[in-house]
Structures are given as structure tokens and as C-alpha cells.
Chains A and B, each alone.
Chain A
């Protein structure tokens, strides 16, 4: 029988807390950049300008069909050679996950915008609004409300994907766990505690998103997935 000993883990618990904060920091920043970028890609893809729409479609499909770990390695190891910038694990992580999640957000935005009834566009046009005015004032406000559940689900996926940054030595929760496991020789306890930490964090967010989805459903909004 295995002797569980959590003392060593809890003695250095602040190490894990630092990691947790860094995980949340990367997730937050990736959302901050990824959402507007996703909107931009979606608008490009929906634009009637054919080259613009094709470029956006290519970027979106490329980042959706390549593994995030490959993207991370590319931004961390390859990009600095190409454009001569100093790349830190932190910057690589934020850049990768901003662009990667923007590709997914773009598709959510597109689904949301396309789900809006055509009559809304015609109504806006009838009272003299331009394309961008109708988009900003009529279409997007309705589309965004429908997108919220898909948006939250994607954000949770993003939170889980950020564990990959540990492979380029950014001190997120996963990386701190590896560090602590080596220091304490207690991989069983360390990785179990970290799994529980991730579980609690993600479970809370999942329940929150289910609650929001129920509420939206009650207010008579269909949802887009």
C-alpha cells in the first residue's frame, strides 16, 4: 500500500499558487487579445472582399487544424530566428494562445453573426444605416448574446490548453508541479494535488457557464455552438 504524504506538497504550496496565478495570467491575456482578434478575423471572413475573406479563412483553418503545441514551439523556437526578436516563454505563450484562440473565437463570432435573421440587416438598411453601423448597433449586440455559452466553453478549453506552456519553461501551474515533484520526490502527491486544483478551477467555471446558459435559455435566446 502506498503511503500518502501531502506535507511536503503543502510546505511549498505557495510555489503552486504562483503557478496558478501565472496560468490565470496567460489565460486572461490570451482572452484579452484573442477575442478582439477573433472578431476581426470573423469580420474579414464575412467580408464581401474575396481576397480578404480568403486570407482570413486560411488563417482560421490553419490555426484550428494544427496542434497548439506545434504552434507554441514554432513561436518560441522558430519566430525569433525569422524576425529577430527576443522571445521569452511568457511572450511566446501569450502570442500563441491569443492567435490560436482567436481562430476559434472567429468561428464563434461568425456563427453568431450568421444566426441573426436577415430582416435585421434589411431593417437597419431601411432606416439608412451603413454596413458597419448595422453591424455595430444591430447585429453584433444580438449575436454576442447568443455566443456567450460557446464563448465560455472555448475559454475553458483555453484554460486547459495553457498547461502546454510548461513545455517551454513558463512557470505555470503545470511547470511548478514538475518543479515541486522533482524537489520533493513526491510526484504522486504533487500531481494529484495539481490535478485537483485544475479540477476545482475548471469545474467552477464549467458550472458557471452552465448556469449562464440556463439563464440565457430562459430569457428566450437560442444559443450557438
Chain B
């Protein structure tokens, strides 16, 4: 071990890394909002009695859960434009891949939450004259979402880590910028260590937060 660590070049290139961090944060926000909101819709469809809603939702979930997210991103980047004629930039490809993948995973979380609500709640909703949609929206979903909150937070953490995959199609995010710094300054060791530390520092408190959240929810249930 005779490598002398030199983080000075990293700090000198801080603006480069900062651009990447902003890119990571931006794509994370877009994909996590689209993924978790879209997942709710798919999850509700997956639970619906109507076969026309249930089957497409099920097929969607199975396809996106059973293929690697990198394959999805690459497919949207290289194959999707040929199929549809729509121009796809790195950002759009990564957003499509990551948010559709997240939709599929969170749909299953929402569905499990809905299924965990006692049938009595449905009956009570019906008894006081609520329609299916009203019962779902006013009674079932608030309970269900509260129960699956820890699972959704975990999904959010996964999405944050997944955002690094956008670098594969050259979207400007943290890892992509670190690669740039490493190539220019010949300091891959410091550059990639810095990225690992950044992710750890951001996510570790969030992970600890989910443990606390889980405990609070368990107590209040």
C-alpha cells in the first residue's frame, strides 16, 4: 500500500462534481415522483375486479420486474427511437427505464398494502353508501399507504442508487462526472472513493430514518 491519497484534485474539481450531484438529484426527483405515483395507479389497476384493467397491469408489472433496469434503459435509448420515431436523449431514456421499473415494483407494494386492509373496511364503506372508488380513496388507500410507507422509502433509496445507471447512456450525473475527473486527473481512486462516500453520506441517514419510521408505524398500528 504505497499509494498516497490526494483528495486535493477532487476539491479543485468540485464544480464538476457539483454539476453531477445536481444531475443525480434532478433525475432522482423526476423518477421517484413518476415511479411512486404511477405505481399507485398500476397497483390499483392490478387489484381491480375488471379484467381489462387487471391483466394489462399484471403484464406490465411482470415485464418490468423481470428484466434488468439497465436493459430497459439501453432498450429505450437505442431501440425505442427506431420503433416509434421519437427522439430519445440520455435523460429521457434513463427516466423511462428507471421510472417504469419503479412503477412496477411500487405497484406490487401498493397492492400488498391494499390487500392487507381488513375486508370489514370495504364492507363498512359499502354499508354507509360509498362507491368502490370512494371507499378505495377515502378509507382503504390512507390505511394501505401508511402501512407500506417503509417499503416505499426503501424503494426510494433503490431509485437513488439506480440513478447512477444513467451514466451508461452518458447522462450527466455524479458518477459520470467522477469518471470525467478520473480521466483528466488520473486519480480514479480518489474520484470513485469520493462518489462512494457521497452516496453513503446521503443515504445512511435516510436508511436510519426508515428504521425509525418503521418503529413509529409499528407502535401506532
Contact = CB atoms under 8 A, between A and B. Distances in A.
Contacts of B163: 67
Nearest to A69: B164
Nearest to A78: B189
Contacts of A164: 70, 165
A121 interface: no
Interface in B54-86: 62-63, 65-72, 74-75, 78-79, 82-83
A187 B70 CA distance: 15
Given A66-B200, A67-B199, A82-B3, A187 B79 contact: yes
A10 interface: no
Contact of A181 (B66, B78, B162, B164): B78
Contacts of B70: 163-164, 166, 174
Contact of A188 (B63, B82, B157, B199): B82
Interface residues of A, number: 41
B71 A73 contact: no
Interface in A18-63: 61-62
Interface string A169-208: 0000010011001000001101110110011001100100
Contacts of A13: none
A66 B207 contact: no
A69 B203 contact: no
Interface of A: 2, 61-62, 64-71, 73-74, 77-78, 81-83, 159-161, 163-164, 166-167, 174, 177-178, 181, 187-188, 190-192, 194-195, 198-199, 202-203, 206
Given A70-B164, A187-B78, 15 more contacts: A67-B175, A70-B175, A70-B195, A78-B193, A82-B1, A160-B68, A161-B68, A163-B68, A163-B70, A164-B165, A166-B70, A174-B68, A191-B74, A198-B66, A198-B67
Interface of B: 1, 3, 62-63, 65-72, 74-75, 78-79, 82-83, 157, 161-165, 167-168, 175, 178-179, 182, 188-189, 192-193, 195-196, 199-200, 203-204, 207
